[in-house]
Amino acid sequence: AQKVTQTQTSISVVEKTTVTMDCVYETRDSSYFLFWYKQTASGEIVFLIRQDSYKKENATVGHYSLNFQKPKSSIGLIITATQIEDSAVYFCAMREGNSGTYQRFGTGTKLQVVP
Amino acid sequence: EAAVTQSPRNKVAVTGGKVTLSCNQTNNHNNMYWYRQDTGHGLRLIHYSYGAGSTEKGDIPDGYKASRPSQENFSLILELATPSQTSVYFCASGRTGGSSYEQYFGPGTRLTVL
């Protein structure tokens, strides 16, 4: 069965620095999709970035990038040049490719960016 | 612009009462989902649907029913609400097939069962 684990409950970083949030997953499927979502203080949840398991190149969108380490079943989210507005809860999720219809979410990491 | 809306946004119910949470999407997505969010648990899947007329159980379906009468609408029903169902509920929609599988979330419904 698929499982997604985020062990970092909360992180605090200084503005304009780089932060990495960890996520490890378990699956028996050879094909799968990994996602990161952001939940703002207002409760809104938005999709940020995605990595397909068959792609070797790490995905990048704006100042978000991924560190995909397939042998370690790990998908880290990297935020460079952090801004105060990046303060939020970040969720990692996985969808299995061969049999999956839904995404399984991790418990989230709360990021606080301070001046 | 694609959107997922939920109603009501806040609800206070009494134990044993019936509660219906509604979700509407204009994304024309086949798949829709209901999650609940509780501290320390993240987002947990309650029910989901492949399309009009279908409902499937997620990870925590006990005490909940779902209804998908049309492509656009997906409801979550608590026939006999209990205090343990106090939570924030999110609806989401997503595509079937293609190269894009991300989900689009509604704003959430805060349910308090007294």
Percent of chain B's residues with pLDDT above 90: 82
Cα of B107 to nearest chain A Cα, Å: 6
Residues of chain A neighbouring B44 (CB-CB closer than 8 A): 105
Q: Which residues of A touch B (CB under 8 A)?
A: 6, 33, 35, 37, 43-47, 50, 91, 95, 101-108
3-state secondary structure string across chain B: CCCEEEECCEEEECCCCCEEEEEEECCCCCEEEEEEEECCCEEEEEEEECCCCCCEECCCCCCCEEECCCCCEEEEEECCCCHHHCEEEEEEEECCCCCCCCCEECCCEEEEEC
State whether residue A50 is helix, strand or coil: strand
Q: Does B60 touch chain A (CB under 8 A)?
A: no
- What does the pLDDT profile of chain A (115 residues) look like in tens digits? 789 999 999 999 999 999 999 999 999 888 899 999 999 999 999 999 999 999 999 999 999 999 999 999 999 999 999 999 999 999 999 998 766 678 899 999 999 999 9
pLDDT average, residue stretch B58-67: 96
**A14, HSE (Cβ side, Cα atoms, 13 Å):** 1
Q: Tens digit of pLDDT for each residue in B75-100?
A: 999 999 999 999 999 999 998 765 56
Rounded Cα–Cα distance for residues B102 and A44 (Å) = 15
Residues of chain B neighbouring A103 (CB-CB closer than 8 A): 94, 101, 103
Q: Does B44 touch chain A (CB under 8 A)?
A: yes
pLDDT of B19 strictly over 70: yes
- Binary contact (A43, B101; C-beta < 8 A): no
